[in-house]
Amino acid sequence: MTRDEALRVLAVLIAAYPTITLTRESIAIYADAISDLAFADAMLGTKKLIRTNKYFPSIAELRETTRNTHRMDGDSAWALVLDEIRRVGAQRIPALPPDVKQAVKAIGGWATLCHSERINVDRTAFLRVYERYMPDNDEVKQLGPSS
21 and 81 fall within a common domain = no
- In percent, the amount of the chain with pLDDT more than 90 equals 61
89 and 53 fall within a common domain = no
The domain total for the chain is 2
Band (41; pLDDT cuts 50, 70, 90): confident
pLDDT digits (tens, 9 = 90+) for 75-88: 988 999 999 999 89
- Domain coverage including residue 92: 74-143
22 and 58 fall within a common domain = yes
**Cβ contact 116:85 at 8 Å:** no
Q: Distance between CA 48 and CA 136 in Å, rounded?
A: 23
Q: Distance between CA 134 and CA 71 in Å, rounded?
A: 8
83 and 138 fall within a common domain = yes
**Cβ contact 69:90 at 8 Å:** no
Last residue of a domain, one of 25, 41, 67: 67
pLDDT digits (tens, 9 = 90+) for 62-115: 998 988 776 678 898 899 999 999 989 998 989 888 788 889 999 999 999 999
Last residue of a domain, one of 46, 67, 88: 67
81 and 139 fall within a common domain = yes
Q: Which of 65, 84, 67 is nearest to 126 (CA)?
A: 84
pTM: 0.51
Question: Looking at 18-22, 47-51, 54-58, 63-67, which range is the least confident one?
Answer: 63-67
81 and 114 fall within a common domain = yes
91 and 62 fall within a common domain = no
79 and 36 fall within a common domain = no
86 and 55 fall within a common domain = no
User: Does 142 score more than 60 pLDDT?
Assistant: no
Band (134; pLDDT cuts 50, 70, 90): low
